[in-house]
Structure 1
Amino acid sequence: MRKLFVLLTLALTLNGFSQKGLGMFGKDPIVNLENFDKQRVHWGYYLGFNTYDFKFDYIDVDKDIEVQTTTGFNVGLIGNLRLMEYIDLRFEPGLYYAQRNLIYPNIEDQFDRRREVKSTYIHFPLLLKFSSKRIGNFRPYLVGGYSQSMNLGSNSKAKDDNYDERFRMKKMTSNYEVGFGVDLYFEYFKFSPSIRGVFGIDDELIRDNNPESPWTGNVASMKTRGIFINFAFH
């Protein structure tokens, strides 16, 4: 996914070169959208990819539960409030589709040792964006903050558990996020590719009814970890 991020950024940059020549990012660039960042409020949207993982902590030392990650999809909106010249407050609600496959090494049965954890998150991040000084049509930034996630596939209200092939998680979780990106200013829009890490604060696991369950009995905590790659348009 990181290679895709680099290739897409390069492709858009080259497209800018073809339209404006070396004037866009060259030594003496033609400055696009010169007053764009002076707006008090502006809006945008993003598309992207995610890779979700779990971090397990255990009650007793044992073999690690294996987490097989897959690539998911993100889509959302951006609301940006300018606080001062180099600091913005951002709200980026979005829909995130993800899947993680758990392999339990201590369970011999090939069917029972595997659990597919499919999640559809409604994600609510509130972030601070720290931008550098703009250089022509290029402006890198750092971003970080707090988020809440609502997992629509949590099975939190189900009475069945792993003994009935149902993996349960809490519906609401809290996270902190940190990342970086770059604003690229084109003639008619601003394009902002970014990469961000998300780190769960809460234990998300709902234990099975049997305290000795081989799926949940030895788990002290299970927290989300993830990487988001987003492509934003303003």
Structure 2
Amino acid sequence: MKNLFFLIAFLFIYQPASAQLFSKEKVLNDENVDKTFLSYGYYIGFNSWDYNFDYLKDKPDILVKKTTGFNVGLVGNMRINDYLDLRLEPGLSITTRNLEYDESYFQGMEYTSSDLEREVKSTYIYVPLLLKFSTKRLNNFKPFIVGGLSTALNLSSNQDNPDDNSAGQFRTKKSMYFYELGFGIDFYLYYFKFTPSIRGVFALNDELVRDADPNSPWTGNIDTMKSRGVFINLTFQ
């Protein structure tokens, strides 16, 4: 799935960039768009979320079956200088991950096939604060890298649910913190600026809410469970 995301990003970036590089057209579109102190926009995109596990004992890995999720949000941009911007990008990120456990986790216990799988739905209200470092504008495009910190509130966490995995409920924490890094290209079209970008998002805190039983086959062997994801966003300003 990650390879597919990189391929899509490459196609979005390569085709317009190659047209700009080899075209003789030198007219600058939307010439003053980057000169305003504050500017706004919105984005839509896709995500692929995963989990990174650290374990207490040497057992088979918990497998994560990922799905393609959806991102949507707003952009607020504050110009610092010609090459540096501060950006706030509040939005919504929705995904589903399915955890698959090896049978060895249930050794000596009675279990069914449904016990070997857990569906984890996540609906993040997601607020990143980012620094955008851009190159000099080249004709009608401008590459950049971006990085920063973000926080998220998971509306699907089940953190306060008294039932745990013994009742079929896999629980995660509500509040999450991330750092993120990415890159993209601003394309200056006639009426607006279009920006495809790709970004890696990495959790700083453990997301798992553990079961009441310390020997739970679902959570007992997990030291930390941290989210990580790949975002492909299309921004319009």
The TM-score with structure 1 as length reference comes to 0.92
Distance 2:173 2:71 in 1: 21
TM-aligned CA deviation for residue 145 of structure 1: 0.2
Residues 29-67 of structure 1: CA deviation (Å, up to 9, x unaligned):
211111111110000000000000000001112111001
Matched, 1:44 2:41: yes
Match of 1:197 among 196, 200, 208: 200
Distance 1:120 1:42 in 2: 27
Rate the CA distance shift 1:190–1:94 in 2: closer, same or farther, 3 A.
same
Distance 1:37 1:164 in 2: 54
Maintained 8 Å contact 1:67/1:102: yes
TM-aligned CA deviation for residue 94 of structure 1: 0.5
Partner SS state of residue 8, structure 2: helix
Q: Which residue of 2 aligns with 1:32?
A: 29
Distance 1:8 1:136 in 2: 18
Distance 2:176 2:8 in 1: 29
Q: Which residue of 1 aligns with 2:145?
A: 142
Q: Which residue of 1 aligns with 2:78?
A: 81
Matched, 1:224 2:227: yes
TM-aligned CA deviation for residue 28 of structure 1: 4.5
Partner SS state of residue 9, structure 2: helix
Distance 2:206 2:10 in 1: 34
Distance 2:44 2:25 in 1: 32
Report runs of 4+ in structure 1 exceeding 6 Å deviation.
none
Partner SS state of residue 153, structure 1: coil
Maintained 8 Å contact 2:73/2:89: yes
Partner SS state of residue 64, structure 1: coil
Distance 1:119 1:54 in 2: 12
Maintained 8 Å contact 1:25/1:136: no
Equivalent residue runs for 1:39-188 within 5 Å: 39-105=36-102, 106-107=105-106, 109-188=112-191
Query: Quick one: which amino acid aligns to residue 68 of structure 2?
Result: T
Q: Percent identity?
A: 52
Partner SS state of residue 217, structure 2: coil
Query: Quick one: which amino acid aligns to residue 49 of structure 1?
Result: F
Match of 1:6 among 7, 10, 31: 10
TM-aligned CA deviation for residue 3 of structure 1: 2.8
Query: Quick one: which amino acid aligns to residue 143 of structure 1?
Result: V
Give structure 2 stretches of 5+ with no counterpart: none
TM-aligned CA deviation for residue 7 of structure 1: 3.6
Distance 1:80 1:154 in 2: 30
Residues 126-181 of structure 1: CA deviation (Å, up to 9, x unaligned):
00000001000010000000000110000011000000000101100100000000
Maintained 8 Å contact 2:146/2:183: yes
Q: Which residue of 1 aligns with 2:210?
A: 207
Partner SS state of residue 133, structure 2: strand
Distance 2:172 2:86 in 1: 31
Partner SS state of residue 4, structure 1: helix
Maintained 8 Å contact 2:152/2:177: yes
